[in-house]
Structure 1
Amino acid sequence: MKKWIRGGTVVTAADTYQADVLVQDGQVIAIGQDLDVQGAEVIDASGCYVLPGGIDPHTHLDMPFGGTVTADDFFTGTRAAAFGGTTSIIDFCLTKKGESLRSAIAAWHEKARGKAVIDYGFHLMIAEANDQVLDELESVVTAEGITSLKVFMAYKNVFQADDETLFKTLIRARELGALVQVHAENGDVIDYLTKKALAEGNTDPIYHALTRPPEAEGEATGRAIALTALADAQLYVVHVSCAAAVQRIAEAREKGWNIYGETCPQYLALDISCLEKPDFEGAKYVWSPPLREQWNQDVLWNALKGGILQTVGSDQCSFNFNGQKELGRGDFTRIPNGGPLIEDRMAIVYSEGVRQGRISLNQFVDVCSTKVAKLFGMFPRKGTIAVGSDADIVIFDPDAKRTISAKTHHMNVDYNPFEGKEVYGEVVSVLSRGSYVVRDRQFVGQPGTGQFVKRNSFTRP
């Protein structure tokens, strides 16, 4: 059935204008005035923005970590994403040394099957770069449509890869047209500082941040960039949290290198003092990289505004405070790293960014949707509102004021890191390929309707 979205203001990364949007068979078929709307269902968007659905480039759903598993799976996680205005996610598929890449991909497909309510893709972790893995990558990129590869430079003895693995991955990615991502922290230095802190009896959550200093992030970012330049490849630095890393990315981009960066809402709106909350409450804010001193926030906002950083991902990796975060009482290294952030990603960027004058409305769309689609091979199918694009559309009330709370969020977790924060902007309705997922602020989606998106190879946006 046709859907006629009328009376709203269409906002893309490039334009803001009054127009109606006509949707049929999962796609946008017309934009403008005086459309042929005979037989169409009317969606009144008066007073609202009509946005392309958000694309979250960084999620961890149903992921094992630290002896437990994330609290949100592909149903609860994608449901929460939809309530936040996100209509596509790219989740990280973990691999193990000695196992084939395809077996890991199959496991992640099984996690999503019958659960996702919005579309999804996968990034693929590279734990080793032997001949088998490097050969297998060709079919992963071309046949599976998984065109982004993740290398960890931290979590020693768990995920951390050496520089040879990163360098070989960069070379293979250049050959195949894949985008390499790095978690850029110096894992060896962090391992030393962590052991030293525990030996000195420093076990509280704040030491998670103090043993992962910004210098360790800046150094690893610079090292990854240098290896990328040597390989003549392309690099995307995930969850940039501090000025030290922004500086390295800015310098590389000034040289014309293919270097891109992502930050996250938590780094834009929270700071290191959260980890000092009493009664172990600081554990709620343990993720990596850690929260930084507040002055870094202005650096990150300016980097988004100036195009040094291109995207905002959530790094959704939720663990309940009770029973999961509490595993680290008496030893901060045992606190599962991660937070529930998928639902409030766009709200924070809009309210703290657009409403505070830090970025424009069009930049909001760009960093939360369009640039993600371009970098990860989904544009113009996704990331914009244009004839022929998927009808992933969000009806967004820009003036609604609300308070973020675990009592009202839709994530399957017992706390919210932004608890009590007042924000402007609320999602009214969400369409995924033309079908309602959220309608008039009520969930109407169906588990399993989300589709896996095979993505195109990397092209410079």
Structure 2
Amino acid sequence: MTQVDLLITGAHVVLPDGVRQVDIAVKDGVISAIVEAGASVDAREVFDAAGLHVLPGVIDPHVHLGPNITYPQSPEDAAPESRSAAAGGVTAMLSYLMTAQPYEDVFPIAKAAMEADSVIDFGFHFCVVTREQLESIPHYAKDLGVSSYKFFMNFRGEEGAYLGLPGNDDGFLFDLMEACAANGTMLDPHAENIELVWRLRAAGLKEGKNPLDSWNLNRPDYIEADALSKLAFLGRVTGASLYAVHTSSALSLDVLEMGRSRNDNIFI
């Protein structure tokens, strides 16, 4: 082996086949070899990681960046978040672009911002909120390389207006799932039965200790689980691949496991 820049020794290294005590050689900023502990390696620098664990870089598949969590546009949108991610061991993140504008207009801006100021690898999901965006999925997948799309089940009526996003319905959801299946892409649904939330609102909002606690109190576990049950069934009907984002309760997990017993194209 030629000389390497760095040799990490003594660590417990997490590998596909389990945790092993091996040494890691790094050259030109990438791992060049994983060798037995104590093997002779010519290295410019040796770092003793005894007692520590070394894990593969984490991929964060759910990130919102930019003004009002729309899409990254400036150094302030990319640099702080990506540096914080790197400090926590995240080496790649997938950011949601969320707008009613055509993504042909938004994608170049977001891509340029991340290329200029992100310190880690990145990719994008598109939030599909208009019929025009839905009909452009073949183009997004083939020409822009974006293979996953978010849908907000809770944005009925004016629920998404605070973000400038229009309302939707189950017909739109079904068409989107068919489009994802036809183009070999994945749907990332925000699962929430907003009509049940409206029912709870009408009965009087419960006040929590803080805004997050209030949100939680007014969205019991069945709000998400009911929506996931619908998604699991429609996934069987349409053949769409589903990634259940931010699954938040044991009841939701139970619903998803039941769905996966009939459709293994559901991911959690």
In the superposition, the TM-score normalised over structure 2's length comes to 0.82
Distance 1:51 1:175, change over 3 A: same
Q: C-alpha distance in 2, partners of 1:38/1:233?
A: 51
In structure 2, the partner of 1:120 is 122
Hey, what's the Cα distance between the residues in 2 that align with 1:79 and 1:119? 11
Q: CA–CA distance in 2 between the matches of 1:174 and 1:40?
A: 51
Alignment of 1:402-421 (within 5 A): none
Cα offset for 1:209?
Answer: 2.6
Distance in 2 separating the partners of 1:9 and 1:208: 41
Q: Residue 267 of structure 2 corresponds to which residue in structure 1?
A: 260
Tell me the SS of whatever aligns to 2:259: helix
Other-structure match for 2:110: 108
Q: Which has the higher strand share?
A: 2
Relative to 1, partners in 2 of residues 1:195 and 1:79: Cα closer, same or farther, differing over 3 Å?
farther
Residues 314-363 of structure 1 deviation map (CA, whole Å, 9 limit, x = unaligned)? xxxxxxxxxxxxxxxxxxxxxxxxxxxxxxxxxxxxxxxxxxxxxxxxxx
- Counterpart in 2 of 1:288? none
Letter in 2 for 1:74: A
Q: Secondary structure at the match of 2:204?
A: helix
Structure 2: gaps (5+ residues): 71-75
Tell me what 2:33 maps to. Answer: 30
1:274-285 to 2 correspondence within 5 Å?
none
CA distance in 1 between counterparts of 2:177 and 2:218 reads 29
Question: Residue 69 of structure 2 contacts residue 98 of structure 2 at CA under 8 Å; is this kept in 1?
Answer: no
Give the equivalent residue in structure 2 for 1:9.
12
2: CA distance between counterparts of 1:35 and 1:171? Answer: 54
Identity %: 30
Shift, 1:112, TM fit? 2.5
Structure 1 Cα separation of the partners of residues 8 and 24 of structure 2: 5
Tell me: CA distance 1:26–1:62, structure 2 relative to 1, closer, same or farther (3 Å).
same
Shift of 1:177: 1.8
* 3-state DSSP of counterpart to 1:250: helix
Alignment of 1:237-256 (within 5 A): 237-256=244-263
Residues 64 and 4 of structure 1: CA distance in aligned 2, closer, same or farther (over 3 Å)? same
Equivalent pairs, count: 249
Pair 1:230 & 2:237 matched:
yes
> 1:52 and 2:59 equivalent?
no
Q: Is the 8 A contact 2:153 2:192 kept in 1?
A: yes
8 A Cα contact 2:7 2:43, kept in partner: no
What is the alpha-carbon distance in structure 1 between the residues aligned to residue 103 and residue 150 of structure 2?
Answer: 13
Q: Which residues of 2 match residues 361-440 of structure 1 at below 5 A?
A: none
Query: What's the RMSD between the two structures over aligned residues?
Result: 2.5
Looking at both structures, which has the greater relative contact order when contacts are Cα pairs under 8 Å and sequence separation is at least 6? 1
Correspondence for 1:145:
145
Any idea what SS the aligned residue of 1:114 has?
helix
SS of equivalent to 1:257: coil
Q: How big is the shift at 1:78? A: 1.5
Matched, 1:173 2:180: yes
SS of the residue corresponding to residue 182 of structure 2 reads helix
Structure-2 separation of matches of 1:63 and 1:247: 36
